[in-house]
Amino acid sequence: MNRLLPFIKWSGSKGSQAKAISAYLPDNFNTYYEPFLGSGAVLGWLRPENAVCADINKALIDLWRLIQKDPNKVINEYKNNWEKLQKSYKFFYKIRDKFNKEKSPHHLLFLSRTCVNGLIRYNKQGEFNNSLHYTRKGIHPDRLKKIIFDWSDRIQNCNFMAQDYRRATKKARKGDFVYLDPPYFNTKGRYFGTINFAEFVEYLSDLNKRGIKYALSYDGLRAENSYIVEIPKELYKRHLLLPSGNSTFKKVQDKKVEKVFESLYLNY
């Protein structure tokens, strides 16, 4: 197996890189921390014995908890919504409006699986604003069921929190490991949430002072263009560029195919 199928499509997913990233992670650690969880590709690949995972998107964390505790309910809700969508495309927009008011994790899963190219996008008001993919109305519930039950099995040892990355890793100690996949500097405005770069640099420095090993996925190369951000060299020991397939965003927006390489910084 070279790639784990995601239960939810998520912008910036490390699905194509999870195996490669995992090869560079420490062989042994106590607690695994992932404070920018998203679709959790690295988490799913590693299957750590003890993990603390977080994201500021509460609906997403609520979905992770449901898949962990009650995967049948997740499947049944998705199947019910999916069947209604097959009868009328207007149902998608009804659910989108409800999600923007209620932030239901079930609605988030449905939208992610039925919107254009699975690209989860929010406007400046924090509202989901992608449209229905008219020619491909969602993954079939029977297929999604297998994926969700596989994930449910993989995350039984995880503690999920809807928190900021600093709070989520506050209890991390020497011997633990932190994998970081924050919103990229050059994708500002398209994803849920942003982070202050200067504050993030201070955070990396604090991890070093506490003797905590980390790996950071961040901006890299796209085609002939470099988007590498100047992270202070004293904060890491190695900087790698890992292939990440082609740019989905560019393919959708400009009908171009561009090879992408993403940075991986290691402080060990």
Cα separations (Å) of 247 from 83, 139, 218?
31, 22, 15
Across 221-248, b (16+ Cβ under 10 Å) vs e yields bbeeeebbeebeeebbeeeeebebebbb
Query: Residue 148: which H helix or E strand, with range?
Result: helix 141-154
Q: How many CB atoms lie within 10 A of CB 24?
A: 13
pLDDT score of 37 more than 90: yes
Taking only the tens place, the pLDDT of each residue in 173-209 is 999 999 999 987 655 444 456 788 999 999 999 999 9
Q: Is residue 100 left, alpha or beta, with left meaning phi > 0 and alpha meaning psi from -120 to 50? A: alpha
Whether the per-residue pLDDT at 58 is higher than 50: the answer is yes
Distance of CA 179 to the CA centre of its chain: 12
Q: How are the residues of the chain apportioned to helix, strand and coil, as percentages rounded to the nearest 5? A: 40, 20, 40
- Span 121-144, pLDDT tens digits: 888 888 999 999 999 889 999 999
Write down the pLDDT at residue 258. 82
Structure confidence at residue 248 (pLDDT) = 56
Is 67-152 CATH 3.30.1490.20?
Answer: no
Global pTM value:
0.90
The tens digit of pLDDT for each residue in 69-117 reads: 999 999 999 999 999 999 999 999 999 999 999 999 999 999 999 999 8
pLDDT tens readout for residues 201-258: 999 999 999 999 999 999 999 888 999 999 999 999 999 999 987 765 555 555 677 8
Per-residue DSSP letter, 171: T
Fold match flag (18-56+163-266 vs 67-152): no
Fold that domain 18-56+163-266 belongs to in CATH: Rossmann fold (3.40.50)
Q: How many CA atoms lie within 13 A of 182 on its CB side?
A: 24
- E-assigned strand segments in the chain: 32-34, 51-54, 158-161, 177-180, 213-222, 225-226, 238-246, 259-266
Q: Comparing C-alpha atoms, which of 166, 175, 170, 237 is closest to residue 212?
A: 175
Q: In whole angstroms, give the CA distance from residue 123 to residue 136.
A: 24
C-beta of residue 104 within 8 angstroms of C-beta of residue 59? yes
Map out the domains of the chain as residue ranges: 18-56+163-266, 67-152
Q: What is the mean pLDDT of the chain?
A: 92
DSSP string, 5-49: PPSS--TT--TTTHHHHHHTS-S--S-EEESS-TT-HHHHHH--S
Q: What's at 254, amino acid-wise?
A: D
Phi, psi of 205 (to 5 degrees): -60, -40
